[in-house]
């Protein structure tokens, strides 16, 4: 979480100029100069053996088995595109992240084919729903409606703005199915309000609900203690660009994994932005992410 000196520097800047780039640089300097929790330096296999959350255990085991910490965010609007990209990147990812509600020709067959691809290529499906309503409402959004997310998505996520009831509501549906929940502790977009006390309280909610909440969408490690092990999945990862002109900011796999203690890198357009390069870029990012993980483990073993 952000140290007090990062908050103080950020808060004295002119309010009309958030200067998120400076804030991200300050965070990078902070993480470079602080020791990450001990669990961060362990192998995925070691973390799987001791993790209390079933979804986290499955993820760590899969990551080690496939030697990948790459998640591809497939934000496309047609069934054909989604399935084509999923099949192309499937061998190289641990998690496929979807926005199912933007698929214009969604149908039940799309879900069935996604599930088949997940089995074929051995990856988990993460529906990036970002639930943000009261517990009773999200319970129905998760289980019912036309998408029936809980029936096929291994992982989903939620904002904590509505309070802890959102976790309880989603948990009523997801826990019996062995699903896992990520909380949005931080976002990678410029001007995001997910910082400070919001992030701090999100972590506290996660601690009180470890049976269902296994980690965060965040830009840095959320653990404060060596005996806790929350998974951090980090969006905004790029090897070639720093931003997209629409507020997204990018960091390298090394910055995310080694310097900030992230566990899974989330990459979208950097992989499928050029249709003829999807497989090549997936291989490239998978290797960069895995190399960063191996470097992090070596750092611990050499100390």
DSSP state of 123: -
Counting beta carbons within 10 angstroms of the beta carbon of residue 56, is it exposed (0 to 12), middle (13 to 18) or buried (19 or more)? buried
Q: Which one has a higher pLDDT value, 72 or 190?
A: 72
Q: What CATH number did the domain enclosing 19 receive?
A: 3.20.20.70
Residue 53: closest CA among 264, 228, 184, 260: 228
Give CA 126 to chain center in angstroms. Answer: 9
Q: What is the pTM for the complete model shown? A: 0.85
What is the distance in angstroms between the CA of the first residue and the CA of the last residue of the chain?
A: 24
Q: Quick: pLDDT tens for 109-141.
A: 999 999 999 999 999 999 999 999 999 999 999
Based on the number of CB atoms within 10 Å of its own CB, is 33 exposed (0-12), middle (13-18) or buried (19 or more)? exposed
For residue range 72-97, list pLDDT tens digits in order: 999 999 999 999 999 999 999 999 99
CB 184 within 8 A of CB 217: yes
260 is in an annotated binding site: no
Q: Is position 234 annotated in a ligand binding site?
A: no
The verdict on whether residue 75 carries a ligand-binding annotation is yes
How sure is the predictor about 18, in pLDDT bands with cuts at 50, 70 and 90? very low
Residue 181: name the closest of 161, 201, 210, 208 by CA: 210
- Averaged pLDDT score across all residues of the chain: 88
The mean per-residue pLDDT over the stretch 3-22 comes to 48
Share of the chain above pLDDT 90, in %: 72
Total number of domains in the chain? 1
What is the residue range of 137's domain?
4-301
268 annotated as belonging to a binding site for a ligand: yes
Structure tokens at 285: 């990012």
Beta-bridged to residue 217, according to DSSP, are 184, 233
Task: Name the residues annotated as catalytic.
Answer: 128, 130, 133
DSSP 3-state of 25: helix
Nearest to 160 by CA among 184, 187, 181, 135: 184
What is the per-residue pLDDT for 222?
82
Q: What is the pLDDT of residues 227-269, one digit of tens each?
A: 789 999 999 999 986 655 565 678 999 999 999 999 999 999 9
Backbone angles phi, psi at 43, to 5 degrees: -70, 160
Q: How confident is the model at residue 105 (pLDDT cuts 50, 70, 90)?
A: very high
The residue among 170 and 7 whose pLDDT is bigger is: 170
Residue 31 pLDDT exceeds 50: no
């Amino acid at each position: 979480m952000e140290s007090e000196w990062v908050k103080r520097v950020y808060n004295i800047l002119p309010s009309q100029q958030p200067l998120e780039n400076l804030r991200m640089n300050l965070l990078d300097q902070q993480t470079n100069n602080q020791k990450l929790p001990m669990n961060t330096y362990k192998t995925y296999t070691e973390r799987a053996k001791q993790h209390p959350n079933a979804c986290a255990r499955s993820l760590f085991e899969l990551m080690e088995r496939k030697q990948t910490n790459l998640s591809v965010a497939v934000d496309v609007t047609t069934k054909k595109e989604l399935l084509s990209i999923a099949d192309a990147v499937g061998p190289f990812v641990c998690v496929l992240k979807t926005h199912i509600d933007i698929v214009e020709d969604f149908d039940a067959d799309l879900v069935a084919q996604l599930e088949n691809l997940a089995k074929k290529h051995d990856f988990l499906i993460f529906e990036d729903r970002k639930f943000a309503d009261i517990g009773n409402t999200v319970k129905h959004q998760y289980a019912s409606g036309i998408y029936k997310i809980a029936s096929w998505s291994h992982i989903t996520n939620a904002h904590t703005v509505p309070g802890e009831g959102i976790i309880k509501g989603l948990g009523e549906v997801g826990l019996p199915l062995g699903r896992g929940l990520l909380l949005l502790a931080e976002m990678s977009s410029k001007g995001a309000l997910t910082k400070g006390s919001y992030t701090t309280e999100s972590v506290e909610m996660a601690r009180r609900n470890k049976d269902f909440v296994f980690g965060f969408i965040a830009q840095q490690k959320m653990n404060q203690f060596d005996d806790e092990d929350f998974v951090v999945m980090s969006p905004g990862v790029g090897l070639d660009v720093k931003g997209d002109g629409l507020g997204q900011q990018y960091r390298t796999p090394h910055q995310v994994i080694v310097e900030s203690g992230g566990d899974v890198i989330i990459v979208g357009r950097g992989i499928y932005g050029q249709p003829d390069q999807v497989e090549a870029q997936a291989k490239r990012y998978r290797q960069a992410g895995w190399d960063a993980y191996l470097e992090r483990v070596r750092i611990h073993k050499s100390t």
